[in-house]
Amino acid sequence: MRISEVAALALATRLLEAHGAPRDHAVLQARILVTAEMKGHPSHGLHRLPRLVERIERGIIDPATKGTQRWRADAVMEVEGSSGFGPVVAMAAIERLAPHIPDLGIGLVALRNANHLGMLSHYVEAIAAMGFIGIALSSSESLAGDPRAMLGTNPVAVAVPTAEEPLVLDLATGLVPMSRINHHATAVPDPEGWRRDAEGRPTTDPVRARAGAIAPFEDAKGHGLGIAMELLVAAIAGSALAPDVRGTMESQSPCNKADVFIMIEPSLASGLPARLSAYLDAVRASPTAKAGEPVLVPGDRARRRREAASRNGFDIDQRLWEDLNALSRSRILAFEGQRS
Amino acid sequence: MRISEVAALALATRLLEAHGAPRDHAVLQARILVTAEMKGHPSHGLHRLPRLVERIERGIIDPATKGTQRWRADAVMEVEGSSGFGPVVAMAAIERLAPHIPDLGIGLVALRNANHLGMLSHYVEAIAAMGFIGIALSSSESLAGDPRAMLGTNPVAVAVPTAEEPLVLDLATGLVPMSRINHHATAVPDPEGWRRDAEGRPTTDPVRARAGAIAPFEDAKGHGLGIAMELLVAAIAGSALAPDVRGTMESQSPCNKADVFIMIEPSLASGLPARLSAYLDAVRASPTAKAGEPVLVPGDRARRRREAASRNGFDIDQRLWEDLNALSRSRILAFEGQRS
């Protein structure tokens, strides 16, 4: 079924308020969930709302806190998330650091123990809207399994402001089944598919490959990047590593993952924002794009989907929407009962 | 044929000194080329030496400069590379910024117009040896071609210090033939292979995929990451974008690419370095590793190869070695002739 942005926001906001979230916290947390639906990423959308509600009821989300901020160094804001809503704690820290970025040139937020942030694109888009380059990294729960999974999804997001829309990249790096990790990470990888010759053809001949190029991303690189992101976040934030991370996928445990935001003042080189936009337009206009289908750059698809969903609404699983409405009715009645 | 580390270093150092490089500059530039050979990456090795010599002769490498450093902001060191050796200009800037990292918590070097840096792992390893987390990004020449290629290789390297050896990731992100870029970046990608169900099987069914996971890295992600790195470096350094980058692959043009280094003081959380090491050891000891073949984490393979090459020497194309020796003899004779 199709619902409107306004209806979805209203339902989620009221449900969270009924559970003790201050209005601005409820609005921001709802915004994050609904925007994920609108961008076409329901994995980060409204199906997480019942879990947030359950976590508040169990006392492992504190809907009222913004966390505790302290300057760990001149350019590093460290935040104890105190089981607050991820979006609320993260945006409070970003807004606290932002006014210092023009003087510092670069700054970092290291955030522990906040709840799930949702799509990281939201945060780097907000940073780009302030005129800064944004990089966001999160650690996350590893996949349950036997053998024990060692890597979280370890999402990374990057936004770079331009003269027009920012570039916005948001992807998961490390979520690979253990079987594939081991297949690709054992001591001597099969070089098949790793390299290309001067004509772009796959080759396993190192001499031909020397004249050519490295093949596009595949699993060994994804695995390496996943481990690197895992260590990067833990080393910056001092937080748990994937096998010990809890609380992003269930309603029993406090959330002990970490999130890192880096904010950078772009170069003030004359004409730079226009040059960046022109480059992205050249990528979009690549002459080999299929007829009528421009090449997209990171962020384009989500932006279009979001704009379309804002006009026309978005599709949601009917059962989920009915469940959310039933939950909302019962809790809001209970809430109003308490009040009266 | 097999040669020793010492012989390779001696040849490269003397050849560069004979072309006007101060001894410490020659040693560092030689070290970078030889280490790449030893790590098993001859694409970044000695075959680049004749090109460096040619570039010095044409006046588009200044072997004596360390570039011009200035503080762009409290935590950002901007460097005009002035056509210096990449390794010399980069390490000088890293060493200038390093003493400030404990106070700042994070700092950045934005370097323009230095020559090719070689493998980025060298720089992040040096940063990790100082006790800091290192991230390095470079822009680079796009692949020549018709249609015009839009992306450089855009390498990224990350090193995280632990209680034992650091994790060291060094990979190229964006080097994909235009045909593949367009195939994967058009408006509606084939979702085949993008997602997995709850059992880890590939699926194109969004409902099943919602319970599952994102598939490992493949080309669309590599493309997105490549564009993001491209914009990130250009926006931080104010430098040229790939189609306009020159001077990393030939001997005619001054080098106008850029390099970015981010240095971060790790969390001082108690026991963190040992915890990071233990995690990497757990990845290495994964029970599903093939008998006798431990799972490797980023940096392991290059470290082992380098150690073995330090003991036993390394293989090099016989023709290349003979050419380098001939070049060395003729130039050193000429150099000594000038002196006398």
CB A247 within 8 A of CB A115: yes
Residue of chain B with shortest Cα separation from A296: B185
Chain A residues with CB under 8 Å of B269 CB are 238
Residues in a beta bridge with B158 = B135, B169
Domain with B232 in it? 65-270
Q: Is residue A211 less than 8 Å (CB to CB) from chain B? A: no
Q: Judge whether residue A197 has pLDDT over 50.
A: no
- Structure-model confidence comparison of residues B286 and A247, the more confident one: A247
CB contact under 8 A, B177 and A213: yes
The DSSP line for B80-93 is: E-TTB-HHHHHHHH
Q: Judge whether residue A209 has pLDDT over 50.
A: no
Q: Which of A210, A217, A262 sits opposite B219 (nearest CB)?
A: A217
CB contact under 8 A, B73 and A186: no
Residue ranges of A 216-255 with Cβ closer than 8 A to chain B:
216-219, 221-225, 227-228, 230-232, 234-239, 241, 243
Q: What is the pLDDT of residue B203?
A: 53
> Does B125 reside within a domain?
yes
Q: Which of B74, B133, B295 sits opposite A186 (nearest CB)?
A: B295
Residue of chain B with shortest Cα separation from A201: B177
H/E run at residue A243: none
Chain B residues with CB under 8 Å of A154 CB are none
Q: What percent of chain B has pLDDT over 70?
A: 80
CB contact under 8 A, B169 and A228: yes
Residue ranges of B 12-41 with Cβ closer than 8 A to chain A:
none
Q: What is the pLDDT of residue A287?
A: 60
Q: Is residue B76 less than 8 Å (CB to CB) from chain A? A: yes
> Does A200 reside within a domain?
yes
Q: What is the pLDDT of residue A291?
A: 56
pLDDT tens string A271-325: 999 999 999 998 888 765 455 666 788 999 999 999 999 999 999 999 999 999 9
Q: Judge whether residue B178 has pLDDT over 50.
A: no
Q: Judge whether residue A43 has pLDDT over 50.
A: yes
> Does B26 reside within a domain?
no
Q: Is residue A162 less than 8 Å (CB to CB) from chain B? A: yes
Q: Judge whether residue B220 has pLDDT over 70.
A: no
pLDDT band of B142, cuts 50, 70, 90: confident
For the whole prediction, is pTM greater than 0.80?
yes
- Total count of domains within chain A: 1
The DSSP line for A124-155 is: HHHHHHTT-EEEEEE--PPPP-SSPP-----E
> Does A244 reside within a domain?
yes
Q: Is residue A175 less than 8 Å (CB to CB) from chain B? A: yes
> Does B248 reside within a domain?
yes
Q: What is the pLDDT of residue A26?
A: 98
- Structure-model confidence comparison of residues B223 and A138, the more confident one: A138
Q: What is the pLDDT of residue A186?
A: 32
Largest CA distance in chain A: 80
Tell me the nearest-neighbour CA distance from A336 into chain B, angstroms: 34
- Which of B243, B175, B221 has the alpha carbon at shortest distance from A200? B175
CB A103 within 8 A of CB B73: yes
pLDDT band of A178, cuts 50, 70, 90: very low
Q: Which of A158, A188, A213 sits opposite B228 (nearest CB)?
A: A158
Q: What is the pLDDT of residue A147?
A: 46
pLDDT band of A194, cuts 50, 70, 90: very low
Interatomic CA distance for residues A1 and A324, integer angstroms: 14
Tell me the nearest-neighbour CA distance from A268 into chain B, angstroms: 7
> Does B106 reside within a domain?
yes
Q: What is the pLDDT of residue A285?
A: 82
Residue of chain A with shortest Cα separation from B270: A238
> Does B29 reside within a domain?
no
Q: What is the pLDDT of residue B334?
A: 74
Interatomic CA distance for residues B244 and A229, integer angstroms: 31
pLDDT tens string B223-254: 788 889 999 999 999 999 988 888 887 888 99
CB contact under 8 A, A295 and B218: no
The DSSP line for A1-58 is: -EE-HHHHHHHHHHHHHHTT--HHHHHHHHHHHHHHHHTT-GGGSGGGHHHHHHHHHT
Listed in sequence order, the residues at least 6 apart from B339 whose beta carbon sits closer than 8 Å to its beta carbon are none
Q: What is the pLDDT of residue A340?
A: 61
Q: Is residue A265 less than 8 Å (CB to CB) from chain B? A: yes
Task: Determine how many CB atoms are found less than 10 A away from the CB of residue B192.
Answer: 10
CATH of the domain at B94: 3.30.1370.60
**Rounded average pLDDT over A24-30:** 98
CB contact under 8 A, A103 and B160: no
Q: Is residue A301 less than 8 Å (CB to CB) from chain B? A: yes
Q: Judge whether residue A190 has pLDDT over 90.
A: no
Tell me the nearest-neighbour CA distance from B338 into chain A, angstroms: 36
Q: Is residue B336 less than 8 Å (CB to CB) from chain A? A: no
> Does B253 reside within a domain?
yes
Residue ranges of A 38-57 with Cβ closer than 8 A to chain B:
42-43, 47
CB contact under 8 A, A224 and B171: yes
Q: What is the pLDDT of residue A84?
A: 98
What number of C-beta contacts closer than 8 Å exist between A and B? Answer: 287
Q: Which of B73, B217, B237 sits opposite A104 (nearest CB)?
A: B73
Interatomic CA distance for residues B286 and A85, integer angstroms: 34
pLDDT band of A225, cuts 50, 70, 90: confident
**Rounded average pLDDT over A178-190:** 32
Q: What is the pLDDT of residue A128?
A: 98
Amino acid letter for position A323:
D
Q: Is residue B73 less than 8 Å (CB to CB) from chain A? A: yes
Interatomic CA distance for residues B225 and A229, integer angstroms: 14
